[in-house]
Structure 1
């Protein structure tokens, strides 16, 4: 009996220690989120992971990235990305549970049919949380951490700051990150000069940027670009 009580005490102590470590880790992430509210990042977790992957084949591989402030990003791109990725961006609190449910149901149907085209139900804030802090692994733990980070970000950042970070950190090619580098790569211009059509095409690339970077125009990309461009007039950016 005494031995059993002793084991229970050890287990309880281990559980409390694990809980303390978890809370300390979350507090550390929250501090980083607060810091990023006022400071521009020089990189992101996703950039670092991409660079490491590219350097397995080419040790000299580099990431093309240049930060630009919010007012130097075309309003066309802001509207196009919201229209494409998160139509309710300005209204929601970070997570669209109904969108997640619909994406899960669609993906299940695709899996049953042997299809490989999947949908994501992530908001812009969720995508930012993943890009800033997490890996591309698809696990329940990573998704749970993404949700926690999403609510942290929404709690302390304005919608304008969230969109500014997202547009500067989003991947737009195999080694191209951020609106400024994307404008230079595809249009030999800068993020402030992007036209409606150019912005719509960049937004259409977002679900699979490395693929379209290599393949260029496809019939689906052209169709998706036209759809986004038609929706942009109905979207307001913060």
Structure 2
């Protein structure tokens, strides 16, 4: 009986601890709806590692970012962004079907999932991390408006070694504030997001140049800046 009672108490304590962690995480997500995150998990990891360059990042409001920039990342990474609830289950089903048909396994992460990963998690491809990413993305989508998701993502995304956020990227690569980015410049920044440690804005490979052209084509096909009115 004593052993059974000890097990019950231990399980109760574990459940309470788990509940406290979940509550803390979702309170943090709610706080970040109104308060700009002071840093992110990816930025902390960069600073704690053997960083070759100092970290550069400057937070700007969405109103201070060229509207071409959110359109570019939506066109490039998540064209169903206005419609899904943080996780695009339709895109996941399609990716799995393509994989079963013999095609390569492609990612189906949404901008919301990438925001959750960059803000709270670590890089990698483990099932545990992907599951946590999905849960956090659902919470973020439930607590934040879509425009806030884009604002946070554009301020914490990595655009090159030690270069975080669109304002720092715009100043370093183009010598201008983010609010002055042109359609082409926004597409160039979006083109390197899949792998900013390898892909370069200033020395684009043929692959990056093809991505820039494709992103601009998608931006136009999405009806241009009118597409953002759906957010």
Q: State the TM-score, normalized to the length of structure 1.
A: 0.86
Aligned position for 2:181: 194
Q: Deviations over 1:182-215 (max 9, x none)?
A: 1112111111111111111111110001112398
Question: In the alignment, is residue 147 of structure 1 matched against residue 134 of structure 2?
Answer: yes
Partners of 2:95 and 2:39 in 1: how far apart? Answer: 29
Q: Deviations over 1:128-162 (max 9, x none)?
A: 11111111133222222212211111111110111
Partners of 2:153 and 2:110 in 1: how far apart? Answer: 11
> How far did 1:174 drift?
1.0
Question: In the alignment, is residue 179 of structure 1 matched against residue 166 of structure 2?
Answer: yes
Partners of 2:218 and 2:98 in 1: how far apart? Answer: 23
> How far did 1:21 drift?
1.3
Q: How many residues align?
A: 224
Query: What are the residue-to-residue correspondences of 1:4-83 with 2, within 5 Å?
Result: 5-55=1-51, 58=52, 61-83=53-75
Q: State the TM-score, normalized to the length of structure 2.
A: 0.88
SS of 1:65's equivalent in the other structure is coil
> How far did 1:105 drift?
5.9
The list of structure 1 runs, each at least 4 consecutive aligned residues, that deviate by more than 6 angstroms after superposition, is: none
Q: Deviations over 1:69-96 (max 9, x none)?
A: 0011011111110001110111111101
Gaps of 5+ in 2: none
Q: Deviations over 1:8-32 (max 9, x none)?
A: 4433333332222111101001111
Q: 1:219 aligns with which of 192, 196, 206?
A: 206
Partners of 1:143 and 1:6 in 2: how far apart? Answer: 39
Gaps of 5+ in 1: 112-117
Q: 2:82 aligns with which of 90, 109, 124?
A: 90
Query: What are the residue-to-residue correspondences of 1:116-155 with 2, within 5 Å?
Result: 119-155=106-142
**RMSD after superposition:** 2.1
> How far did 1:107 drift?
6.6
Partners of 1:40 and 1:213 in 2: how far apart? Answer: 28
